[in-house]
Amino acid sequence: MNLDLVVCPGCRTLTGDRLDVRTLERAGDLLTCECGRRYPIIDGVPIVMANPAEYLRSEIATVVERDLAPEVAALLVEGGPDDAPYARLLEHLSIYLDAHWGDRAEPSDGFGGQALVEWIAARSRDRVERAVELGCSVGRITAELAANADHVVGLDLQFGAVRRARRLLDGERLAYGRRIAGRHYAPAAISAGDRAVPAARRTLLCGDALDPPLIPGMFGRVVALNLLDSVAHPRQVLSVVDGLCTRGGEVILSSPYTWQSSVMHDRERFGGADPAAELVRILRAGEGLGARYAIEEEADVSWTLRRDARSVVTYRTHVVRARKI
């Protein structure tokens, strides 16, 4: 873990065009700031956000959960209900571990997001000093970005997912439950193999992609996949991506634009019937951003999520790669 890029989100201040930040220091299982704020490190993953206490109140079940054999975890949720915190966590992990790492899972399920993984890997081969992924989930794209970056940062709000990413990128074999039907799971396991990333070359954080605790303008490659339609303020994602990207750097964005009222208000959506074209227009014009972007590539790439043995959803996700002018 490298803390040179991680700042205290609680005391940073913006005065005019000047942003004042303080970096954090490690003290055992805490990150501390000169301002007195402290942030916990749990199982190697710092939780760094402006109001960690509020987050912990709502997500304490995912933060304090321990590693259990898949059979034991499945037994704990078998009695229901479906929306219990631990049941929701197991379902989330089953979906995204298969989506990110399905090609390295045993037994294989035949599904996953390999098309998008391969697209990103093929188009991030130019080496950069630093790369960051917002919404890194269980870490496969972060691992691919590390192949051509001196240091990579992965950030996600779901602590349970980031904790699994940490273990996988450390080279550990990860056992998990693969959802079969309802609250019934079968054992599966993943090893990252050659996609493991030494701790000195990566930093994984539990944090808010809309307010990341990172020094702006420091990343030559900024990636946010399938995040625009998963947050309350999609234009804020674009502003954050722009703020993190260095001049001349590259951004990679993707989304199937599956807007949902439970996630965002209608006024937050953009582009009407063609949000893909609107995203490209916003980037080219630099609308609401600090710079304009040259579009280097666009594509529609499949992204498959396996919910259970009989339920699979494949999205046609729009991917844009653009250069900050």
Backbone φ, ψ for residue 208 (5° rounding):
-95, 120
Read off the pLDDT of each residue in 245-262 and give the average, rounded to a whole number: 97
Residue 193 included in any domain: yes
**Taking the mean position of all CA atoms in its chain, how far away is CA 199?**
18
CB crowding 108-125: b at 16 or more within 10 Å, else e: eeebbbbebbebbbeebe
CB crowding 231-242: b at 16 or more within 10 Å, else e: beebbbbbebbb
Percent of the chain with pLDDT over 70: 99
> Does residue 238 come out as left (phi exceeding 0), alpha (psi in the -120 to 50 range) or beta?
alpha
pLDDT tens track for 204-224: 999 999 999 999 999 999 999
Closest CA to 211 of 4, 8, 5: 8
Residue 253 included in any domain: yes
Range name among 109-118, 163-172, 219-228, 240-249 with the lowest pLDDT average: 109-118
Bigger pLDDT: 15 or 9? 9
Residue 6 included in any domain: no
- Residue 39 domain boundaries: 13-324
Q: What pTM was estimated for this model as a whole?
A: 0.95
Q: What is the pLDDT of residue 17?
A: 76
Extract the tokens encoding 267: 């006024």
Of the pLDDT bands very low, low, confident and very high (cuts 50, 70, 90), residue 2 is confident
Q: How many domains does the chain have?
A: 1
CA distance 156 to 172: 20
Query: Which CATH number covers residue 283?
Result: 3.40.50.150
Residue 163 included in any domain: yes
CA distance 153 to 137: 12
Read off the pLDDT of each residue in 36-44 and give the average, rounded to a whole number: 95
CA distance 56 to 205: 15
Q: What is the pLDDT of residue 109?
A: 78
Residue 4 included in any domain: no
Extract the tokens encoding 220: 């030559």
Q: What is the pLDDT of residue 246?
A: 98
In whole angstroms, how far apart are CA 310 and each of 110, 182, 242? 13, 10, 40
Closest CA to 233 of 266, 188, 276: 266
Residue 1 included in any domain: no
pLDDT tens track for 45-71: 999 999 988 999 989 988 999 889 999
Residue 185 included in any domain: yes
Q: What is the pLDDT of residue 239?
A: 97
Residue 2 included in any domain: no
pLDDT tens track for 266-279: 999 999 999 999 99
